Amino acid sequence: MAGNAELPAIPDRTVSDAVETFAASNNVPKHVAIIMDGNGRWARARHLPRVAGHRAGAQAVRKVIESAIRSGVAWLTLYAFSSENWRRPADEVIDLTGLLRHYLRHEVAELHSQGVCLRFIGERDRFDGDIQADLKSAEALTVGNSRLNLVIALSYGARGEIVAAVRRAIGLVQSGDRSLDQIDEAVFGSLLETRGMPDPDLLIRTSGEHRLSNFLLWQCAYTEFVFQDVLWPDFGPNEFSAALAEFTKRERRFGARPS
Ligand code: FPP
């Protein structure tokens, strides 16, 4: 059996010409990835339970999707739940998965009407069956949309993703589908969960932390990082614009000599 046999097919999608033209002319990053951090501290500062911070964080998710659409960003990837987050206290895990369930049931129709194409990366089989079914139907409903590709990382961990890709690569070689020499960066990238996606141009992390926390380790090889002190629930259009403005100042050389 080929090593990537269990991977579902991802249909080809292109962003509309108008958005691409706008993005190119304004040096807007094609793909923005965000580590949404600081919900707990936001809640603590207000003497609220942590779940209130996560609920406020979900409101900020709505706003950032609107900002991304308005800015002409083609891909937005949000780190909503890491594979390590299962180790949080049981009541917080229940709150977070409950919030996800609510989000999927109540927001997907609106996202669809806005032309958002949804895709989920991560170990979806660790979630309850009803959530897995909702993830699948949200992807199926929105697969034809192209205004914004919204990728939500759920129970995602980059090291686990890379190890799974290594196993798939070994499977391809063992089955004779590929020779060892044919396993190059492009083939390896196609075995990751992010296959078919451009690498992030810009990664934003909120809450003043300066870490990647096991997020998109392979994909961020040449990504520009912007760290902001704002706590995620307070992140809005101004913070998004500020990050995009900072991005436009960066000179990206991808390892080449300065001209
Ligand atoms: C990090 O803050 C945030 C999370 C672990 C969860 C992110 C979830 C949301 C933004 C809301 C749900 C989103 C969707 C798409 C349904 P933290 O709890 O680690 O904050 P702290 O570092 O201040 O404790």
For the chain, domains (ranges, CATH) are 15-156+199-248 (3.40.1180.10), 158-197 (no CATH)
> Could you identify the atom of ligand 1 that is nearest to the CA of residue 79?
7
Question: Rounded to two decimals, what is the model's pTM?
Answer: 0.90
Q: CB 57: neighbour CB atoms within 10 A?
A: 25
* Cα dihedral: 43, 48, 49, 55 (round 10): -60
Cα-to-centroid distance, 37 and ligand 1 (Å): 6
Pocket of ligand 1 (CB under 6 A): 36-41, 54, 57-58, 61, 80, 85, 99-100, 103, 152, 207, 232
Residue 186: CB partners within 8 Å, gap ≥ 6? Answer: none
CA–CA–CA angle 121, 134, 15 (5° rounding): 55
Q: CB 52: neighbour CB atoms within 10 A?
A: 18
The whole-number pLDDT of residue 170 equals: 98
Cα-to-centroid distance, 35 and ligand 1 (Å): 9
pLDDT for residue 257 is more than 80: no
Written as one letter, the residue type at 185 is E
Q: What is the pLDDT of residues 23-73, one digit of tens each?
A: 454 699 999 999 999 999 999 999 999 999 999 999 999 999 999 999 999
Q: How confident is the model at residue 259 (pLDDT cuts 50, 70, 90)?
A: low
237 DSSP β-pair partners: none
Q: What is the pLDDT of residues 186-239, one digit of tens each?
A: 999 999 999 999 999 999 999 999 999 999 999 999 999 999 999 999 999 999
CA 171 to chain centre: 27
Q: What is the pLDDT of residues 122-146, one digit of tens each?
A: 999 999 999 999 999 999 999 999 9
- Which residue reads 């009407």 in tokens? 113
Structure tokens at 125: 């089989």
User: Residue 153's closest CA among 214, 82, 95?
Assistant: 82
Please confirm, yes or no, whether 85 is among the known catalytic residues.
yes
- Which residue did the predictor score with more confidence, 250 or 15? 250
Marked catalytic residue, from 4, 26, 37, 201: 37
Please confirm, yes or no, whether 37 is among the known catalytic residues.
yes
Q: How confident is the model at residue 3 (pLDDT cuts 50, 70, 90)?
A: very low
